[in-house]
Amino acid sequence: MALITVKDLALGYEGQKIVGGLTFEVRTGDYLCIVGENGSGKTTLMKTLLKLQDPLSGTIELGDGLLRNEIGYLPQQTLVQKDFPASVREVVLSGCLGKGGFHPFYTREEKALADKQMERMEVLDLADRSIRDLSGGQQQRVLLARALCAADKVLVLDEPVSGLDPRVTEELYTLIEKLNKGGITVIMISHDIDAALKYASHILHIGKTVFFGTKEDYLKSETGRQYAARGGEER
């Protein structure tokens, strides 16, 4: 059974459609990469999946027992995130805030979960440092740990390696792949077609044409061949 089923979705702002006819599904253990030209609606789709924005039409259904608060989100990195005056531990713990009702202090279980996810992302030794003093790659690991505290069934990632150097980019992709192989379903926007074709199990291409299917079928399609030959979207 699918975790997420999208049927005939149309996206846009103030009634102006950006893209329509989006139909696809995400199953447990999938690694879905969303690719396409700049301005094609990839980030809009991500916000719609997270209920941060309403679709113009169409439906998004959660299945297989998946709850909305079991989807973790790593947005595009911003200057505010990079300069946020908080310790690594405080940032990671904040991922627990969406679970359960309000309580003024973190529980022992939440603190243990934060330590577990920091160790998982290899940043536990940085727990007491300010996040603004870390490198870009370290900050993304911290924010991934935060997303895993919020939810660890599905991870939604919006260009998680943007602005990182090639070595750190490869390290982060390896961590994400490890999470996926450990049972976490990954949905990732990527402008890096080479990475998408290396790691993804499925591709959703949004643009003048829409494609959804396995990575292998994407490479056989006219859309996939042309896009891969161009090296992906213009950056």
**Identity (one letter) of the amino acid at 41?**
G
Question: For each of the chain's 235 residues, which pLDDT tens digit applies?
Answer: 799 999 999 998 887 899 999 999 999 999 999 999 888 889 899 999 999 899 999 999 999 889 888 899 998 876 545 667 799 999 999 998 866 555 677 899 999 999 999 999 999 999 999 999 999 999 999 999 999 998 879 999 999 998 889 999 999 999 999 999 999 999 999 988 999 999 999 999 998 889 999 999 999 999 999 988 887 764 3
| Residues 207-212: contacts with CB under 8 Å, at least 24 apart | 207/36, 207/37, 207/40, 208/37, 210/19, 210/21, 210/22, 212/23, 212/24
Are 119 and 142 within 8 A, CB to CB?
Answer: no
Q: What is the pTM of this model?
A: 0.90
Q: What region does 133 belong to: left with phi over 0, alpha with psi -120 to 50, or beta?
A: alpha
Q: 3-class SS at 229?
A: helix
What are the tokens at 217?
């079928």
Beta-strand runs (E) in the chain: 2-13, 16-27, 31-36, 57-62, 71-74, 154-158, 185-189, 202-206, 211-214
What are the structural domains of the chain? 1-66+193-235 (3.40.50.300), 69-152 (3.40.50.300)
What is each CA distance from 70 to 6, 47, 74, 148, in whole angstroms?
18, 15, 13, 9
pLDDT at 102: 56
pLDDT at 56: 94
